[in-house]
Amino acid sequence: MTTTQVVNPATEQVVTTLELLGAAETDAAIERAQRAAAGWREVAPGDRARLLRRFAEAVDANLEQLARLEVANAGHTIGNARWEAGNVRDVLHFAAGIPERLLGNQIPVAGGVDITFHEPLGVVGVIVPWNFPMPIAAWGFGPALAAGNAVVLKPAELTPLTAIRLGELALEAGVPEGVFQVLPGKGSVVGQRFVTHPAVRKVVFTGSTEVGKQIMAGCARQVKRVTLELGGKSANIVFADADLERAAATAPYGVFDNAGQDCCARSRILVQRSVFDRFLELLEPAVRGVRVGDPADEATEMGPLISASHRARVASFIEPSTKVAFTGTQPDGPGFWYPPTVVLPDAPSDRLLTEEVFGPVVAVVAFEDEADAVRIANDTEYGLSGSIWTNDVGRALRVSRGVEAGNLSVNSHSSVRYWTPFGGFKQSGLGRELGPDAALAFTETKNVFIAT
């Protein structure tokens, strides 16, 4: 059996050592899920709803413990980690509304009655990255379970602890054995088995665009359903007519939250040329003011990066020729720290404008007018998120319609609400999670005609 050491990224201390599942154990778990799915879909809708509510309440009762676990495992600030555990609870409560409202249609036809059903798929495999271990897991397993599927969940090797605890809480809440299983292991072993095992009928993958493409190609062999949530290079567009003070004061939090390890990070700031210099003057104190340090400290706003190798990758983006405008602070001593960094690329082809850094590095560029802003915002293979700062409501709507991205915010940097759909355009993904249609991603529509 292979093992892995779980490391606290803020201290570099080993938190625990875990066993990783191999292919045979993964197959056994998938087969257990297949048997459990047959029973779970027969659980009366009201009872399935009640079990999900109990699961949500168990998460709520253990919220502080889950949050502390995430601080230790992923280096998330305690404030963020509490929000993330609370988001799992809320997604489960929202999902608990699904079983009793999974309505089909009765469609008028000649010669009989026609009705549609939303049938569960069977076993759903959810593959989760290390950046938001709790919420991203719940966006998959909440609605999937609600729609009557069994779930096998593979957390990232670096951050398995909260997922494992969520698996225990589901069982304590009364979710039947085998319906929700957490399988720590390598992507190339456990994750790949989700792709190749015929009993897994859908894969929900969140992670890099590169691995997402492999998952999609692998799933194609079995015409397996797939939802992909991939990378981003989102734009924060600041017009001259915006509340410049607020736009500058909030911009660091739109990109440096979770140390920039956020698929929705607004890692390109596009500023109208007439206010470019003023915006940078206002941005500098805001960036220097970001409190970087011990994630367990309530006042901390930014923690460390996830690992030494990830820090080396982030650092590799800053070359000797890179124009660094200014940086924020970072603590001394152990931990995978990297300071908030603001760069001014010269050319549109600069890697800092085209590639996802996934760290606390933001590129600021100037634009001329509305059309130029939309053109630059769309000059990327990605299309996940973005912000528009303006006091002109017409412009806000025009630019929102023009930017090719799945989740935009006006005079705000908020992307994620469990009530609303979430997902990417272009190479940022395929399909949507959350929102009113969440369950439909985990069901097949069946049409039945009854001759009268």
281 an active-site residue? Answer: no
Q: Which residue is nearest to ligand TAP (CB)?
A: 187
CB of 377 vs ligand TAP, minimal distance in Å: 17
Toward ligand TAP, which CB reaches closer, 133 or 178? 133
CB of 434 vs ligand TAP, minimal distance in Å: 10
Any bridge partners for residue 108, and if so which?
Answer: 113
CB of 164 vs ligand TAP, minimal distance in Å: 13
Toward ligand TAP, which CB reaches closer, 206 or 409? 206
> Judging by DSSP bridges, how do beta strands 2-7 and 14-20 pair with one another?
antiparallel
Toward ligand TAP, which CB reaches closer, 11 or 267? 267
* Contact residues: ligand TAP, CB under 6 A: 127-132, 136, 154, 156-157, 186-188, 191-192, 206-208, 211, 214-215, 229-232, 263, 356, 358, 384, 424, 428-429
CB of 303 vs ligand TAP, minimal distance in Å: 16
263 an active-site residue? Answer: yes
Toward ligand TAP, which CB reaches closer, 8 or 131? 131
Residues 6+ apart with CB under 8 A from 123: 30, 33, 34, 37, 149, 150, 151, 152, 199, 200, 201
DSSP code of 228? E
Toward ligand TAP, which CB reaches closer, 191 or 254? 191
Toward ligand TAP, which CB reaches closer, 21 or 396? 21
Marked catalytic residue, from 229, 301, 356, 433: 229
State phi, psi for 181 to the nearest 5 degrees: -120, 135
Residue located via tokens 């999670």: 433
DSSP code of 176? P
CB of 49 vs ligand TAP, minimal distance in Å: 26
Nearest alpha-carbon partner for 195 in 346, 75, 23, 330 = 23
Could you tell me the CA-to-CA distances from 264 to 133, 255, 334, 423 in Å, in that order? 15, 8, 28, 10
Marked catalytic residue, from 70, 84, 263, 264: 263
- Tell me if 175 sits within 8 A of 55, measured CB to CB: yes
Toward ligand TAP, which CB reaches closer, 295 or 429? 429
Q: What is the CA radius of gyration of the chain?
A: 23
Residues 6+ apart with CB under 8 A from 23: 189, 193
**Coil/strand/helix, residue 104:** coil
CB of 20 vs ligand TAP, minimal distance in Å: 9
CB of 190 vs ligand TAP, minimal distance in Å: 8
437: number of Cβ within 10 Å: 11
In 121-248, which ranges are E strands?
123-127, 150-154, 180-182, 200-206, 225-229, 235-238
Catalytic residues: 229, 263
